[in-house]
């Protein structure tokens, strides 16, 4: 949507490990300031400017709330691109293993809860590895890690569909 820096728009430090509560607070604070309803009595030009800014804040918030998009934005800000790989054999085999486990696990069984917990641990470890890669400026590690996280998120969606269990990583 925009090439504007979501960190700058939301007045946040550019880092991968974002406290979601802080992100929410900052977004709602700025949205209250720039919400178009507050400018209903202003000129049409001022209303358009605030509508545009409100839209940019929404974009920035959604971008930083999703770890994969946040990683892509931060990498771009630091002069690098992250590509979700489609041909990583290791990641594909791991994804197939996870999906097979989801398929054979019965709805309502404790195995689904266990599977969900294991997946959450893997997702958290992957998020930690992405954060470490940013902190150490190991940009070559980012594409494989973001690809892995992408597949893990798809598995989390499969688990949610199967058992109505929400798998949410820590950041």
Give the range of the structural domain holding residue 121, as residue numbers without chain letter.
Answer: 89-163
Domain membership flag for residue 30: yes
Kindly report, residue by residue over 25-50, the tens digit of the pLDDT.
999 999 888 766 666 676 777 778 77
User: Is there a domain that residue 77 lies in?
Assistant: no
Displacement of CA 149 from its chain's centroid (Å): 10
Q: 54 and 97 share a domain?
A: no
Pairwise CA distance, residues 157 & 3, whole Å = 29
CATH number for position 159 = 1.20.1280.20
53 and 103 fall within a common domain: no
Residue 10 · residue 23 · CB < 8 Å: yes
Q: Are 164 and 113 in contact (CB under 8 A)?
A: no
**Whether residue 113 sits in one domain with residue 47:** no
Residue 114 tokens read as: 């266990």
Residue 148, pLDDT > 70, answer yes
Please check the confidence at residue 108 and state whether its pLDDT lies above 90: no
* In the block, residue with structure tokens 């949507």: 1
Q: What is the pLDDT of residues 55-94, one digit of tens each?
A: 899 999 999 999 999 999 999 999 999 988 877 788 889 8
Is 170 inside any structural domain? no
Q: How many structural domains comprise the chain?
A: 2
């Amino acid at each position: 949507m925009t090439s504007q820096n979501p960190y700058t728009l939301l007045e946040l430090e550019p880092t991968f490990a974002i406290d979601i509560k802080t992100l929410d607070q900052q977004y709602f604070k700025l949205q209250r300031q720039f919400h178009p309803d507050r400018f209903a009595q202003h000129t049409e030009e001022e209303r358009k400017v605030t509508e545009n800014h409100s839209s940019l804040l929404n974009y920035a918030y959604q971008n930083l709330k999703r770890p994969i998009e946040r990683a892509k934005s931060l990498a771009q800000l630091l002069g690098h691109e992250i590509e979700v790989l489609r041909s990583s054999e290791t990641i594909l085999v791991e994804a197939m293993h996870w999906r097979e486990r989801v398929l054979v696990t019965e709805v309502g069984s404790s195995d689904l809860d266990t599977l969900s917990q294991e997946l959450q641990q893997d997702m958290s470890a992957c998020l930690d590895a992405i954060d470490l890669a940013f902190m150490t400026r190991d940009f070559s590690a980012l594409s494989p890690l973001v690809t892995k996280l992408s597949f893990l998120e798809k598995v989390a969606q499969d688990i949610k569909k199967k058992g109505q269990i929400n798998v949410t990583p820590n950041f």
